[in-house]
Amino acid sequence: MLEAFDAPFMQRALLVGLVLAVPLGLVGTWVVLRALAFFTHAVGVGTFPGVVIGLGVPAIGPFAGALGAAGLITTAVVGLERDERARGGAVTGLVLSTAMAVGAVLLTSAFGLSTPVDAVLFGSLLATTVEDIQRAAVVAAVALVATILLARRLESATFDRAWSLPAGARPAATDAVLLALIAATVVVALPVVGSLLVSGLLVLPAATARLMVRNVSAMPAIASVIAACEITAGLAVARELDAPPGAVICALAGLTFACGLALERVPRPRLRRA
């Protein structure tokens, strides 16, 4: 498997992948515990038209395009969901399919881009640049500091919002930071996994970690380690099969989660009782 990483572009992809594993696990933990998977998917898909515009207008570039789109989608979903009638995923679904449609129209008609659509949607091994690594490192550092500093607030506000508000956990401000972290993580993970599958990498490793922990404190670190393993193995397999890395990594992550779920259901002697 190691020879898969002989080529410099593979080493860059691996490096960005391992750096990404940090925010994917840390932020993914709260995506899972807050049931924000669908929202995260909307932000991921929402970056698709942004990336297309960024590719079509070189002055913008795909990174700024994705960042702008992720910010816009986050604000739109949060703003529209203030209306109680729009809760329950309706707005998220609407934003998601609109973004996909706009992206498809722009890609095929407006710009007539030569970039293959699957590279934007599912990631590309060749696309990773040194800048991608730097951006991922910045987001990883911010996510690490923020989730450590906000751990107690996130925990209280997620477990019992009714208590956390008068207790001073400032759940609304905590939510805003979490949503910004989700958007930032999605954007920096795009080069490797693409817009359509990025939510899978924010959800699946953390969901697998959730099966393994009794206490939230261990969950972010375990989720990051799982993400790192899945990204490493996925990149190697993608190279071998010449398949889009995002697709292979997410398939592996889904398989790992399914195995975890199955293992949990196998009756076994309990080693430790609480």
Print the binding letters for residues 24-43 with another protein: x by CB under 8 A, - otherwise.
---------x----------
The per-residue DSSP string of 69-126 comes to HHHHHHHHHHHHTTSGGGTTTHHHHHHHHHHHHHHHHIIIIIS---S-HHHHHH--ST
The per-residue DSSP string of 246-270 comes to HHHHHHHHHHHHHHHHHHHHS----
Q: Which one of 155, 188, 191, 226 is in contact with another protein (CB under 8 A)?
A: 155
- Rounded CA separation 103/52 (Å): 6
Print the binding letters for residues 72-111 with another protein: x by CB under 8 A, - otherwise.
----------------------------------------
Q: Interface with another protein includes 162 (CB under 8 A)? A: yes
Q: Which one of 159, 241, 259, 264 is in contact with another protein (CB under 8 A)?
A: 159
Q: Which one of 75, 110, 163, 258 is in contact with another protein (CB under 8 A)?
A: 163
Cβ 143 vs Cβ 22: under 8 Å:
yes
Q: Interface with another protein includes 147 (CB under 8 A)? A: no
DSSP one-letter code for 272: -
Shortest Cβ distance from residue 161 to another protein (Å)?
7
Shortest Cβ distance from residue 168 to another protein (Å)?
5
Q: Interface with another protein includes 149 (CB under 8 A)? A: yes
Residue 69 corresponds to which tokens in the numbers above? 């789109």
Nearer to another protein, 162 or 266 (CB): 162
Shortest Cβ distance from residue 167 to another protein (Å)?
5
Q: Which one of 12, 41, 153, 239 is in contact with another protein (CB under 8 A)?
A: 153
3-state helix, strand, coil in the chain (%, to 5): 80, 0, 20
* Dihedral (CA of 31, 37, 42, 48) sign: positive
Enumerate helices (H) and strands (E) in the chain, giving the number of each: 12, 0
Among positions 165-224, residues that touch another protein (CB under 8 A) are: 165-169, 210, 213-217, 219
Residues that bind another protein (CB under 8 A): 33, 149-150, 152-153, 155-156, 158-163, 165-169, 210, 213-217, 219, 274
